[in-house]
Amino acid sequence: MAFDVALCVLVAGLALRLLTTRDLFEAVILFVSFGLALALVWVRIGAVDVALAEVALGAGVTGALLVNARRRLEQKAPEWLEAAHYRPAAAVLPALCGAFAGVAGLVALTAPRAVQPLAPRILERVPDAAATNPVTAVLLDFRAYDTLLEIGVLVAGITAVWALERGRPAVPPAATAEDEPVLAELVRWIVPLTVMTAIYLTWLGAYEPGGAFQAGALLAGAGVLMLASGFLRPYAPHSPVLRTVVAAGLFVFAAAALATVFAEGALLRYPAAGGYVWVLAIEAVLTVSIAAILAEFFVDVPSAPQQASGEQR
Amino acid sequence: MMDLLVLLLLACGGFFFLAGTVGLLRFPDVLTRIHTLTKADNLGLGFTVLALALLADSWIVRAKLVLIWLLVIGATATTGHLIARAGLEARDGLEGRDETGLEARDGARLGAGDH
């Protein structure tokens, strides 16, 4: 109880400071800390799937993106780092967030109790689903079209980034591993482990907390590390390999949706016998696509480490 | 008896984390701050992992805990190195840095809080 109260205070305090600070770098660091604290909240209320996603996506990948974005601002438009430019937002955002939290709390406290909660009804039907982990059963079976739309959003996002970056010069030469032998050694150890863990998480998603988004974010982390340390040279956005990998998740998922319409007569209703195989196959392709898209977001906000290693010489 | 040992180890871990955080806040420059983070946090995590390993009910969980500890040690050591290097470069600019960067370490005082 005391721990939960302390956690709530910590999360609210971090959020407040994050929204009101005038130092963008501090805001980025606070955002990552906020993500980690929020993940603890999710663990405390038993939502381990969400906690994993929050840590990997919310704190990890988004944190790296924000660090890169700030770096880019510093290089391209340093005046935007000055407080005056976002002071109005710093006043409005906490007020909006506070109002939203207040309304949400009010609704949660005053909503009629007669409404039948969803969880027992879902748990009742999980034995018939294609996955035994209730979260995966919802995400890839009961409401698989939501997940289909989510991967669609990611593909649309990266397409927009590519469109914005149309005029950028060719990808700069990557930093070489010799520049940073210590980092290179860490990458040699950690990337294979990360890939293994991502495969494990994808497979585990059908039974226990895990799944494509968490595994994809992990894999993207490995990709970001390899890009930053020069192990991986960024693909040009028009590279057919990159485009295929990015689109594969959406295509396979959409194809599965079409196939089930013809075979079973309903969108994403899997055949009774092989549902598990369908879910696993979709999740595997999704993992790779999500990883490619997230890592590509990192590249397309022009990669800071390459610039940094250029400055050293 | 076991509970007492676990409590003791957790308290030790907490102490080192606290010491590391205090050091991070109180120490004057980049290098000493890295020292608190990499040394104190690794010890703190080590004690915590040890305590949790005693509590764990299967060897696979213990193996995972040790793996986490090793990964964090590797990551902290590397990050510490990278931050130290970035700190030295930020102080020295383009000149004043020899091949190893060790020269620049003498009397290093890398303005607090520069990023």
Classify each residue of A221-238 as buried b or exposed e, where b means 16 or more C-beta atoms within 10 Å of its C-beta.
bbbbbbbbbbbbebbebe
Nearest CA in chain A to B71: A190
pLDDT of A312? 38
DSSP B48-111: HHHHHHHH-SSHHHHHHHHHHHHHHHHHHHHHHHHHHHHHHHHHHTTSS--SSS-GGGTT----
Q: Which two tokens stand for residue A193?
A: 């482990």
> How far lies A242's CA from each of A78, A101, A286, A288, A305, in Å?
32, 40, 14, 11, 21
In sequence order, what are the residues at sequence separation of 6 or more whose Cβ sits closer than 8 angstroms to the Cβ of residue A160? none
Cβ B78–A193 below 8 Å, yes or no? no
| Contact list, B69 vs chain A (CB under 8 Å) | none
Query: Can you tell me the distance from the alpha carbon of B107 to that of A87, in angstroms, rounded to the nearest whole number?
Result: 39
Q: Provide the residue type at B71 as one letter.
A: L
Q: Where are the alpha helices (DSSP H) in A111-143?
A: 118-125, 134-137
Our CA-based measurement puts residue B1 at a distance from the nearest CA of chain A, in whole angstroms, of: 25
| Contact list, A180 vs chain B (CB under 8 Å) | 82
Cβ A193–B74 below 8 Å, yes or no? no
Q: Which of A89-93, A97-101, A225-229, A305-309 has the lowest mean pLDDT?
A: A305-309
Classify each residue of A252-265 as buried b or exposed e, where b means 16 or more C-beta atoms within 10 Å of its C-beta.
bbeebbeebeeeee
Residue with tokens 């990998």: A245
Interhelix angle for A24-44 vs A2-20, to 10°?
150
pLDDT digits (tens, 9 = 90+) for B71-111: 888 888 888 888 888 888 877 765 444 444 444 444 444 44
Cβ B75–A182 below 8 Å, yes or no? no
| Contact list, A308 vs chain B (CB under 8 Å) | 86
Nearest CA in chain A to B83: A183
Q: Provide the residue type at A254 as one letter.
A: A
Calculate the dihedral angle through the C-alpha atoms of A219, A220, A224, A225, rounding to the nearest 10 degrees: -20
The number of angstroms, rounded, from the C-alpha of A88 to the middle of its chain's C-alpha atoms is 28
Q: Considering CB atoms only, which of B82, B94, B115 is closest to A183? A: B82
Considering A81-95, A122-136, A182-196, B85-99, the range whose residues carry the highest mean pLDDT is: A182-196
| Contact list, A185 vs chain B (CB under 8 Å) | 78
Q: Does B78 touch chain A (CB under 8 A)?
A: yes
Query: Can you tell me the distance from the alpha carbon of A264 to that of B48, in angstroms, rounded to the nearest whole number?
Result: 52
Cβ B74–A189 below 8 Å, yes or no? yes
A89, pLDDT greater than 80: no
Q: Which of A142-156, A169-183, A299-313, B24-38 has the lowest mean pLDDT?
A: A299-313
pLDDT band at A100 (very low <50, low <70, confident <90, very high): very high
Q: Considering CB atoms only, which of B74, B89, B94 is closest to A186? A: B74
Q: Considering CB atoms only, which of B81, B86, B89 is closest to A182? A: B81
Among A295, A297, A293, A289, which residue's Cα sits nearest to residue A202? A289
Q: Across residues A141-163, what is the average pLDDT?
A: 87
Size of interface A-B (CB pairs under 8 A): 22
Is the distance from CB of A52 to CB of A209 less than 8 angstroms?
Answer: yes
pLDDT band at A23 (very low <50, low <70, confident <90, very high): confident
Query: Can you tell me the distance from the alpha carbon of B66 to that of B50, in angstroms, rounded to the nearest whole number?
Result: 8
Query: Can you tell me the distance from the alpha carbon of A213 to that of B56, in angstroms, rounded to the nearest whole number?
Result: 28
In sequence order, what are the residues at sequence separation of 6 or more whose Cβ sits closer than 8 angstroms to the Cβ of residue A127? none
Q: Considering CB atoms only, which of A186, A193, A312 is closest to B78? A: A186
Quote the longest CA-to-CA distance of chain A: 69
Q: Does A180 touch chain B (CB under 8 A)?
A: yes
pLDDT of A86? 63
The number of angstroms, rounded, from the C-alpha of B14 to the middle of its chain's C-alpha atoms is 14
Our CA-based measurement puts residue A201 at a distance from the nearest CA of chain B, in whole angstroms, of: 14
pLDDT of A168? 54
Q: Considering CB atoms only, which of B71, B77, B89 is closest to A312? A: B89
| Contact list, B86 vs chain A (CB under 8 Å) | 308
pLDDT digits (tens, 9 = 90+) for A36-69: 999 999 999 888 888 988 998 888 889 988 888 8
Would you tell me which residues 79-108 of chain B have a C-beta closer than 8 angstroms to some C-beta of chain A?
81-82, 86, 89, 94
Q: What's the N-to-C CA distance of chain A in angstroms?
A: 54
Backbone phi, then psi, for B98, in 5-degree steps?
Answer: -85, -170
Cα Rg of chain B (Å, integer): 18
Question: Which run of H or of E encompasses A231?
Answer: none
pLDDT digits (tens, 9 = 90+) for A66-75: 888 888 777 7
Query: Can you tell me the distance from the alpha carbon of A140 to that of A148, in angstroms, rounded to the nearest whole number?
Result: 9
pLDDT digits (tens, 9 = 90+) for A162-199: 877 655 555 555 555 567 788 888 888 899 999 999 99
A313, pLDDT greater than 60: no
Cβ B115–A25 below 8 Å, yes or no? yes
Our CA-based measurement puts residue B2 at a distance from the nearest CA of chain A, in whole angstroms, of: 23
pLDDT of A6? 94
pLDDT of A88? 67
